[in-house]
Amino acid sequence: MHRPLLSLLLLLIALPTLALAQRDLKVIPDVEPDAELASFTVAEGFEVNLFASDPMIASPIQINFDAQGRLWVASSEVYPQIEPGQVADDKIICLEDTDHDGVADKSDVFARGLLIPTGVLPGDGGVYVANSTELLHMKDLDGDGRADTKRVVLSGFGTEDTHHILHTLRWGYDGMMYFNQSIYIHSHIETPHGVRRLNAGGIWQFRPETMELDVYCRGFVNPWGHHFNDWGADFATDGAYGEGINYIFPGSVFVTAADARRLVQGLNPGSPKHCGLELVGGSHLPEDWQTSAITNDFRAHRVCRFVLEEDGSGFASRQAEDVIKASHGAFRPVDVKMGPDGAIYIADWYNPIIQHGEVDFRDPRRDHVHGRIWRVTKKGSPLVKPVNLEKASVAQLLDSLKSPDKWVRTQAKQQLKQRARDEVVPQLIKWMDTIPADDSATAHHRLEGLWTYQALDVANEPLLLELLASPNHNIRAAAVRVAAQWHDELADPLALFTAAVRDEHPRVRLEGVRALATIPSADAMVVGLEATRKPMDRFLDFAVWQLANDLAPEWVPALQKAIAENDTTERILVDAKEHPASWAFAMAAIPDSAVAEAAIAIVPTDDPAVAQQLVELAAQRGDANLLGKLFASILPGGNRADDAGQIGPILKSFLVAMETRKTKPSGDLSEIEQLYAASSPEVSALAFDTAISWNVASHDLVRSYASGEKELPPAARVAAVRALSKIPGQASAQLLVELIGRDDASQAVRLAALESLAAFALPKAAQQAAALMVDENSDLAPTAIMAPFVSRKQGQVRLADALKGKKLPRDRAQLALRSVRGSAQAAPELVAAIQASGGLTGGVRKWSDEELADITAMTMDSGDPHAGEAIFRKAELNCYKCHAIGEAGGKVGPNLISLGASAQPDYIVESLLRPSAKVKENYHSLIILTDEGKVVTGIPIRESQDLLVLRDGDGNEIEIAKETIDDRAEGRSLMPDGSIDELTTQEIVDLSTFLSKLGKAEEFSIGNQRYLRIWKTLTYNQESLRAINRTSNNTVAAGNPAFVWEPIFSLVDGGVPVGELPVFHPHRNQPQFAYLQADIEVATGGKFEFALEGPEGLSVWLDGKPVPTKKTLEVDWQPGSHQLTLAVNLETRKKPVKVRLVEENSTGRLKTSTEK
């Protein structure tokens, strides 16, 4: 379909997007700092004071301290958009606490006239400023506190979105500068070393003195936090994505990265969105806060603390007690830094409105004049003594590297970098001589010395070699990363990285794998794959996968050449033959079709699983000749003909090759019919599907199988019927019509027949569908009948024509109407036809501005959030299908974990009643028209050069080869209009009230306790009841084919209401029961403690074995899948079921939802 037709389609399906006119609603909190402070709940043992406030500052975006202990603030009163005619006058402000009483008493406007400066970083004799498309360096030459010079350091950063532009400036442990950009930004930066590009989000690494600029990692939606632990490991937060703390490393790739084929997941999926990040520590803070990650849930008015623990090659993150929890609606913490006194400083953007695009840029509730800096200290703990490092001597600066306070060490390295190298290096050598090389207590000092050499850009190989051999794996890992940067100055970097890949600790191996990317050679790939022969985890797995892609230009041709020449002495071929599983991993990692021949060449004879993996890979990637050889091997007489376990996967791979590359085997493809009657039902069905894909289905033979004349297993029969879609004509149409009308045919056969008929005889199929829809005795649901027409060009219009003059049973009409409205591309003709045929009056309710205003007022005054939560959980509304609250729920729509804290009630009400009026960023649907005339709608979640991946309304991921896309355009929200039209006004008010409390009220916030939130419940049927009656409740835990389990999610507070569970009454004199089961995936083995909050009325099984019911369950679990089963006695238990993982008493780690 071409653009004019697509435009017509969009015109038919588009809905009005009128803005809410009523914008005079005021929910403006008291602006006095004392009122805000009074709303704070502060972590036990800590206190908060106001360090600075308006009018001294307004709307702070980023804060950073300088070596004198002064706090620099980037602020913007213009954000989010300058008004026409307005003069840009945003500022960089320098705050100083001259008497060290914890309150700023001096403020200088260092620079003004800026346009939305989003970052500030003191250094190199001045201040770096992120200002729109540029990174500036500004200096005060005369000491008056005002900038006298402005130099453009880098330019070419994108400006597509004001809250995504260059931001989060930070000095690293290595003396380099790091800064971020976000998803909608496309940057092309010219440097003396060439143009550097970053499309979409990511983190940059920059050495100002040499102008070396590189992309450090890619991805994220809006990453406004990045920091390092004491050993140089990186972490980041994302202000627009819900995975909490992210562990990052060189070359890592995260959500939304441009052209990414694989991503690293965060450590806390289902978390709120976080802004800013500081890994705190030092002498002022207590021991249990050392290296805690402090970040801001700015939507829910919280400053959060996460505890980081080592986990394999990466880390695990656990949320601890909040630093600050505020009830004040304008408290918006956006940045956090450790100060020179050891206190924690919080930048408070201060604004009752924080949505960017969803709320009008000119909304009068946006605050442009207030702002705060809060200071958090530990009661009774001495503060760090103030020190002015700018005036320190080189010797004093070197001794400062021993400080327990990270701010002191970082600033000291920056000052040393600014001094003359010839002055610093000799003293650094002497200083290192004073630090014992074999003392664990001073080992970190020697690492700081190595980092100082790195900051000075002076390679010290002897010191590097010493630290690479350190008994401390943290130091070895840090040293490997330094070696990667110095690789071109080292005598034998490959040998060093080889040792790292063979290290006993997985994080050192990860750093070694990533370091190998700096040595573009086939030998480096051979070394890197050694990591796959030791225990792997998700981070290491990604690192090796990425290395395979980084080095593909070297190792792929080297392996091809060695195979072509049969050079059995070539290292890469020797290694591939000896370790085919490792090379299967590498080949699967890259999209290159050139590996297909190599995959066949290294197929082992002693490992069937690896052999199968390589053969499937060849089938997916090979050219027509190679596919022809594989095809011949699975036909009767071929060397794989007797192994259905190989034939099925190869056929599936042929389907992938056609779908993604339009490639099919050479030779006589009609021989596929020899597999139609295969003994394996799966092979038989796949044979028909493959014949359809290749368009070689024999007409008469396929019809004989489809009609039932030739016997087939049920699944294969359905596939044969589907094959008729590629055999148009009168004979096929006649058979399909017959099958559609046969009551003795299965539902699957009849629906497949309808879909096949629609493929080439749409009007005739529509007539058959209409006849089925009006038949009130039909066992085919209207939703299933309509499916082939909803997703097909002109399908809805043809079905509407066929329904004219027909009478639909009212119930079936309502189901049909619900289905078409939920399709996200409802044709008005079909909606009208269903309403006329079913006698339904009225369409989707059009809510007036006055009605929205009334419901908003009632939401704020009289709504019941508990009743609203019950409505949200109603099966007929199916809210959880699309929306998650934390970890529990779907991924189609935005996670609602902190909606109430981030959105005003009028926005929530409008989103419910006019779903497409305000669509959340990243949740606009795409409408795709394929070259076969199919219409596919979904939310884009990933896109590469060759593939587009959408998530449809059912949560399924749909992969679409881009060469099959005829056209694409932005659609509307996937939330159907009229979704809540059947609710009463009070129910809508209660639902809105519940949503407005999410993340705002304590009882409707996820909190830092980890409850089991994703369950399944045993649905009632007679077979299940009989199975339980014949045995006991034990059979529920043991499993039974008759059992049907349905997902159920916990309440926000972690409990599962027993009143929502299906009821079983085993025997007349026995109590009623319900059953719950949680599938638990263990990432790191160890001891786990689960707390049953009230064990009354519960019976417990762990991994199918009964255990005593106690308040606390303790179990030792190895990595893998485990199961908790509960039988709930409904006569003795009335309160919800709540099971909590006691993380502080557990030594193992459960997988997060994104790891499963």
| 1090 backbone dihedrals φ, ψ, rounded to 5° | -115, 135
CA nearest to 654, candidates 676, 636, 669: 669
Q: What is the pLDDT of residue 924?
A: 67
Q: Give tens-digit pLDDT for 670-687.
A: 999 999 988 888 898 899
Alpha carbons 441 and 447: distance in angstroms, whole number: 12
Q: What is the pLDDT of residue 842?
A: 65
Choice among 253-262, 525-534, 906-915, 1143-1152 with the minimum mean pLDDT = 906-915
Quick one: average pLDDT of 797-806? Answer: 89
Q: What is the pLDDT of residue 289?
A: 96
pLDDT at 295 over 60: yes
At 488, the amino acid letter reads: D
Quick one: average pLDDT of 124-139? Answer: 95
Q: What count of Cα atoms within 13 Å lies in the side-chain half-sphere of residue 878?
A: 14
Q: Which residues contact 576 (CB under 8 A, 6 or more apart)?
A: 559, 583, 598, 602
Model confidence band, residue 25 (pLDDT cutoffs 50, 70, 90): very low
Copy the structure tokens of residue 267: 């450590």
Q: Give tens-digit pLDDT for 1079-1103.
A: 999 988 999 999 998 889 999 999 9
More reliable by pLDDT, 288 or 893: 288
Choice among 379-388, 397-406, 765-774, 777-786 with the minimum mean pLDDT = 777-786
pLDDT at 156 over 50: yes
Alpha carbons 854 and 848: distance in angstroms, whole number: 10
Model confidence band, residue 21 (pLDDT cutoffs 50, 70, 90): very low
Q: What angle do CA 623, 628, 632 make, to 5 degrees?
A: 155
Q: What is the mean pLDDT of the chain?
A: 89
CA nearest to 621, candidates 600, 606, 646: 600
Q: What count of Cα atoms within 13 Å lies in the side-chain half-sphere of residue 49?
A: 9
Q: What is the pLDDT of residue 920?
A: 66
Q: What is the pLDDT of residue 2?
A: 40
Q: What is the pLDDT of residue 843?
A: 65
Find out whether 123 and 206 touch, Cβ atoms under 8 Å: no
Model confidence band, residue 779 (pLDDT cutoffs 50, 70, 90): confident
Find out whether 311 and 1085 touch, Cβ atoms under 8 Å: no
Q: What is the pLDDT of residue 8?
A: 31
Choice among 462-471, 927-936, 1128-1137 with the minimum mean pLDDT = 927-936
* DSSP 3-state of 1032: coil
Copy the structure tokens of residue 118: 């989003």
Copy the structure tokens of residue 979: 């979704």
Q: What is the pLDDT of residue 10?
A: 32
Which range, 134-148, 362-376, 810-824, has the best average confidence (pLDDT)? Answer: 134-148
Q: Give tens-digit pLDDT for 557-611.
A: 999 999 999 888 899 999 999 999 999 999 999 988 889 999 999 999 888 899 9
Give the chain's end-to-end CA distance (angstroms, integer). 39
**Helix spans in 973-1051 (H):** 985-997, 1022-1030, 1034-1038
Q: What is the pLDDT of residue 18?
A: 26
DSSP 1026: H
Alpha carbons 641 and 633: distance in angstroms, whole number: 6
CA nearest to 190, candidates 166, 156, 152: 156
Model confidence band, residue 532 (pLDDT cutoffs 50, 70, 90): very high
Alpha carbons 847 and 977: distance in angstroms, whole number: 11
pLDDT at 755 over 70: yes
Q: Give tens-digit pLDDT for 388-414.
A: 999 999 999 999 999 999 999 999 999
Which range, 288-302, 698-712, 938-952, has the best average confidence (pLDDT)? Answer: 288-302
Q: Which residues contact 904 (CB under 8 A, 6 or more apart)?
A: 25, 27, 352, 353, 359, 365
Quick one: average pLDDT of 151-162? Answer: 89
Find out whether 349 and 371 touch, Cβ atoms under 8 Å: yes
pLDDT at 773 over 90: no
Output the CA–CA distances (angstroms, integers) from residue 491 to 486, 495, 528, 1073, in the order listed.
10, 9, 19, 71
pLDDT at 15 over 60: no
Asked if the peptide bond before residue 905 counts as cis, ω within 30 degrees of 0, the response is no
Give the DSSP H or E segment for 769.
helix 762-774
Quick one: average pLDDT of 76-89? Answer: 83
Q: What is the pLDDT of residue 72?
A: 98
pLDDT at 547 over 70: yes
Model confidence band, residue 824 (pLDDT cutoffs 50, 70, 90): low
Q: What is the pLDDT of residue 19?
A: 32
Alpha carbons 97 and 105: distance in angstroms, whole number: 5
Alpha carbons 112 and 91: distance in angstroms, whole number: 4
Per CATH, domain 1009-1150 is 2.70.50: no
| 276 backbone dihedrals φ, ψ, rounded to 5° | 80, 155
pLDDT at 438 over 90: no
CA nearest to 890, candidates 872, 864, 867, 904: 872
Q: What is the pLDDT of residue 919?
A: 64
* DSSP 3-state of 324: strand
CA nearest to 543, candidates 532, 533, 558, 554: 532
Per CATH, domain 37-378 is 2.120.10.30: yes
Enumerate long-range contacts of 151-157, CB under 8 Å, 24 or more apart.
153/128, 153/208, 154/189, 154/191, 154/206, 154/213, 155/189, 155/190, 156/187, 156/188, 156/189, 156/190, 157/132, 157/133, 157/181, 157/185, 157/187, 157/189
pLDDT at 825 over 60: yes
Q: String of b and e for 530-566 (b: at least 16 CB within 10 Å)? A: bbbeeebbbbbbbbbbbbbbbbbebbbebbbebbeee
* DSSP 3-state of 1125: strand
* DSSP 3-state of 1053: coil
Model confidence band, residue 179 (pLDDT cutoffs 50, 70, 90): very high
Q: What is the pLDDT of residue 146?
A: 96
CA nearest to 1085, candidates 1110, 1138, 1122, 1140: 1122
CA nearest to 652, candidates 617, 676, 606: 617
Q: Helix 552-564 vs helix 538-550: angle between axes, to the nearest 10 degrees?
A: 70
pLDDT at 11 over 50: no
Query: Residue 134's beta-bridge partner residues?
Result: 131, 155
Model confidence band, residue 1 (pLDDT cutoffs 50, 70, 90): very low
Q: What count of Cα atoms within 13 Å lies in the side-chain half-sphere of residue 422?
A: 0
Quick one: average pLDDT of 624-649? Answer: 88
Model confidence band, residue 16 (pLDDT cutoffs 50, 70, 90): very low
Quick one: average pLDDT of 770-796? Answer: 85
Domain ranges of the chain: 37-378, 767-842, 1009-1150
C-alpha torsion angle, residues 450, 453, 457, 462 (rounded to 10): -70
pLDDT at 1056 over 80: yes
Asked if the peptide bond before residue 80 counts as cis, ω within 30 degrees of 0, the response is yes
Looking at the chain, the whole-number percentage of residues with pLDDT higher than 70 is 94
Q: What is the pLDDT of residue 921?
A: 63
At 766, the amino acid letter reads: A
Find out whether 807 and 772 touch, Cβ atoms under 8 Å: no
Q: Give tens-digit pLDDT for 29-61.
A: 899 999 999 999 999 999 999 999 999 999 999
pLDDT at 376 over 50: yes
Output the CA–CA distances (angstroms, integers) from residue 316 to 235, 241, 308, 838, 1011, in the order listed.
11, 18, 6, 56, 17
At 89, the amino acid letter reads: D
SS (H, E, C) 899-963: HHHHCCHHHHHHHHHCCCCCCCCCCCCEEEEECCCEEEEEEEEEECCCEEEEECCCCCEEEEEHH
| 964 backbone dihedrals φ, ψ, rounded to 5° | -95, 0
Quick one: average pLDDT of 436-445? Answer: 91
Find out whether 291 and 228 touch, Cβ atoms under 8 Å: no
Looking at the chain, the whole-number percentage of residues with pLDDT higher than 90 is 57
pLDDT at 101 over 90: yes
